[in-house]
Chain A
Amino acid sequence: MNVHEHQAKELLGSYGVPVPPGAVAYAPHQAVAGAAELGGERWVVKAQIHAGGRGKAGGVRVAGSLEEVGEIAADLLGSRLVTAQTGPGGALVGRVLVEPAAEIARELYLGLVVDRGAQRVSLIASTAGGVEVEESGAELVRETVDPALGLRDFQCRKAAAALGLSGPQLRPAVALMRSLYRCFVETDALQAEINPLAVTADGKLVALDAKLSFDDNAVARRPTIAALRDLDEEDPKEIDASEHGLNYIALDGDVGCIVNGAGLAMATMDAIALHGARPANFLDVGGGATPEKVSNAFRIVLTDPNVKTILVNIFAGINRCDWIAEGIVSASRELDIDVPIVARLAGTNVEEGRRILAESGLALTAAENLDEAAAAAVSSLEVAA
């Protein structure tokens, strides 16, 4: 789960990470009032969307007057910001963050990640902070954290030294890193990024931009994090799916997919692509799929107008093919489906599942294996066209 920059900064600030003062605005007049209250002569107005790459896309702008703050806010709010990470449709800007413009001497990068190689959390620090860090690929230091010990001062000092933070900046740097780590652990974060970590003209450290993402599997035990979820940032179909225990990701092809298991779901998409068509979605019905869950899967897949055919591929282990078959039958009765359906069932209770489909009288194509299923789905597209 991702959160907005202003939420990440509030959270980090509560752990002692120095962040700039700021005001969140949902309307231009709020932005102007916020800027006036913050004081100063120059402000930064920042579009609050979850995707990165905002700076280059014109989502972060400097204002030299309160009037200009209002103009920029009016321009950004309600617009769709297209960045390198949003896709061509862009993301709707529902709020902006106004902060006093800082005098920056140096821009650094500081982050904590779940390090798959080490199977632990690692602190990553680089002198190549700022908007270019994604491309630069420069990595200066990596300090892996023993979870039994936590991030220790000496590790922070090593990172600080590598960043050229010495003298009066050393202690604040160590304190900042420890605060960041404490926040990371106590919120079940998966990624925490301060980029840039600015050294201001007067030598102070401040987190000018911050990005936090949290473990979906731990949100239930972190109610303060759960409350930060912004549903406007998510695809309504994906929200609908997750409420029904389904994992759905919209793609841009025309073969709707209903599969169990993430690996098989990806392999099914791959098989469709190898037969020359494109999947309309990734959908994993998960384990313990009831007929209702399968029926909901059909409903969600069919809300995509590009779907011209549906491929069901179930290899039941913890699932039951008979329940899946019942779900297919009830979905086709309830939903008035006007696209071809190809179903491949295998695994637990497969004979019963196939019998239910055969006796239902539904006009669906039963496939014996993955290759046959993908081929049948793709050829049904050609028939439809």
Chain B
Amino acid sequence: MSVIVGRNSRVVIQGLTGQHATFHAEEAMAGGTNVVAGVTPGKGGTTHLGLPVFDTVAEAVAETGADVSGVFVPPPFAADAALEAIDAGVDVVVVIADGVPVQDMIDVKRYLVGRHTLLVGPNSPGIITPGECKVGIMPSHIYRSGRVGVVSRSGTLNYEAVQQMTALGLGQSTCVGIGGDPINGVDFVTCLRAFEADEDTDVVVMIGEIGGPQEVDAARWAAEHMTKPVVAFVAGSSAPAGRRMGHAGAIVAGESDTATAKMDAMEALGLAVVRNPAQIGETVARVVVETGAGLTRVAAS
């Protein structure tokens, strides 16, 4: 088991013939991901990386049974590509693009209402279940298969946390980058719920940043619903108020938006808050020992 994507996922890449998509599709396939098709409008009927290329996602789904789509198209076209994948009925659509207009994403979120598709992103590194399935742009070699679930807004901070854990021998079940935009797909709570239910995850790392209420909302949810420990870090303690720090959603608009306020609130809710971004890995290791996370599994097996 794993979360959202796994060894049974059949992946279609929208924009497969592009440079970045080609690089990351090849890397994903080398790492075991079952990529079954590409979609590039106008190039239907050709092959790329040995994969059939279709004009539409609907055709790709009908012909190959694809159930996960990685959207690797530029920001101005990303929302339409995501809508197309949702319309085609895939279970998961992952949008990598950074710079998708906010109102486009509001429309995409509206289109998801009443449909079963899970959206990851935009402005996301993607999602990886190490050794099974990668739909994204993360450097595969730092990931190890294991039992820590990771969910973050930032991509590079997700890599940072993962490298620290891997260096300590702590592998990951699934790592999700939910993206740095204010309007996005799966949120922290959705991922925490999935990790709580996942029998291959023992402990969860949640990495947030300044701006918005979602980290504290998620911590509240975790306090009420989770048995597994959650380690949390929020980036931006040193960020000034009122300035957008790169990510469209990363802005301190009020007192509760600051990293310190969020971490204080999360700590009060019982999460294992780590204040130093260089100590995420060792904190996970400590929490695993202190809480005995996963011990019941070992005892049962």
Given contacts A261-B154, A267-B277, A271-B277, contact A119 B240 (CB under 8 A): no
Among the listed stretches A55-63, A277-285, A295-303, which one makes contact with chain B, having 4 or more residues with CB under 8 Å of it? A277-285
Given contacts A116-B214, A315-B156, A315-B159, contact A269 B75 (CB under 8 A): no
| Contacts A147-B107, A347-B139 given; does A270 touch B99 at CB 8 Å | no
Find residues 127-160 in chain B having any chain A CB closer than 8 Å to their own CB.
137-139, 142, 152-160
Determine the chain B residues whose CB is within 8 A of the CB of A278 once the complex forms: 238
Q: Which residue of chain A has the shortest Cβ distance to B182 in the bound complex?
A: A116
The complex places the Cα of A274 from the Cα of B260 at a distance, in Å, of 13
A272 interfacial by beta-carbon distance below 8 Å: yes
Q: List the A residue with the shortest CB-CB distance to B278.
A: A371
Q: Cα distance A317–B275 when bound, in Å?
A: 24
Q: A242 to B160: give the CA distance in the assembly, Å.
A: 26
Whether A317 contacts B138 in the complex (CB less than 8 A), given A116-B213, A270-B277, comes out as yes
CB within 8 Å of B: which of A190-237? 190, 215-218, 220-221
User: CB distance A114 to B183 under 8 Å?
Assistant: yes
In the bound assembly, the distance between CA atoms of A247 and B245 in angstroms comes to: 8
Give the interface centre of B100, B209, B246 by most chain A CB atoms within 10 Å: B246
Q: Interface readout for B217-246 with A: 1 if CB under 8 Å, 0 if not?
A: 000000000000000010111111011011
Residue pair B20, A249 in contact (C-beta under 8 Å): no
Q: Could you say which residues of chain B place their CB within 8 Å of the CB of A264?
A: 154, 156-157, 159-160, 235
Q: Which of B61-69, B247-255, B290-298 contacts A (4 or more CB under 8 A)?
A: B247-255
Complex contacts, A185 vs chain B, CB 8 Å: 103
B110 A266 Cβ-Cβ under 8 A: no
User: A265's contact among B104, B246, B276, by CB below 8 Å, is which?
Assistant: B246
Determine if A14 is an interface residue (Cβ-Cβ < 8 Å). Answer: no
Whether the pair A270, B155 counts as a contact (CB closer than 8 A) is no
Is the pair B125, A147 in contact by a Cβ cutoff of 8 Å?
no
Chain B interface size range: 35 or more
Known: A315-B160, A371-B278, A374-B278. A270 touches B106 (CB 8 A): no
With A116-B182, A267-B277 as contacts: A215 and B101 at CB distance below 8 Å = yes
**Complex-state Cα separation, A313 to B164, whole angstroms:** 15
A190 to B182, CA, bound (A): 11
The answer to whether B76 has its CB under 8 Å from any CB of chain A is yes
Once A266-B209, A269-B238, A279-B238 are accepted as A-B contacts, the answer to whether A261 and B157 lie under 8 Å apart by CB is yes
Q: Is A117 touching B213 in the complex (CB atoms < 8 A)?
A: yes
Cβ–Cβ < 8 Å partners of A148 in chain B: 110
Is the CB of A348 closer than 8 A to any CB of chain B?
A: yes
- Do B101 and A288 touch across chains, with their CB atoms under 8 A apart? no
Interface residues on A, range: 35 or more
Interface centre among A117, A271, A273, A315 (most CB of B within 10 A): A315
A356 to B246, CA, bound (A): 29
Asked whether B153 lies within 8 Å of A272 as measured between CB atoms, the reply is: no
Are A217 and B238 in contact (CB-based, < 8 A)?
no
Would A262 and B180 be within 8 Å (CB), given that A215-B101, A315-B160 are in contact?
yes
> How far apart are the CA atoms of A266 and B106 in the complex, in Å?
27
| Of B106, B163, B180, B278, most A-chain CB atoms within 10 Å | B278
B207 at the interface (CB under 8 A from A): yes
Would A218 and B278 count as touching, CB distance under 8 A?
no
Q: Mark A250-268, 1 if CB is under 8 A from B, else 0.
A: 0100000001111111111
Cross-interface CB contact of A217 among B101, B138, B160, cutoff 8 Å: B101
**Chain B residues numbered 83-129 whose CB sits less than 8 Å from any CB in chain A:** 98-104, 106-107, 109-110, 125
User: How many Å lie between the Cα of A355 and that of B240 in the bound state?
Assistant: 37
* Distance between B114 CB and nearest chain A CB, rounded to angstroms: 11
A97 interface contact, C-beta 8 A: no
What's the minimum C-beta distance from B79 to chain A, rounded to whole angstroms? 11
Bound-state Cα–Cα, A221 to B248, Å: 18
Q: Are A270 and B101 in contact (CB under 8 A)?
A: no
- Chain B residues in the interface with A (C-beta under 8 A): 20, 24, 75-76, 98-104, 106-107, 109-110, 125, 137-139, 142, 152-160, 163-164, 180, 182-183, 207, 209-210, 212-214, 233, 235-240, 242-243, 245-250, 259, 275-279
Known: A120-B109, A270-B237, A270-B276. 20 other contacts (CB 8 A): A116-B214, A119-B106, A147-B107, A215-B101, A216-B248, A217-B102, A218-B104, A220-B76, A259-B156, A262-B209, A263-B152, A264-B154, A264-B235, A266-B154, A266-B245, A269-B238, A271-B277, A282-B246, A318-B137, A348-B139
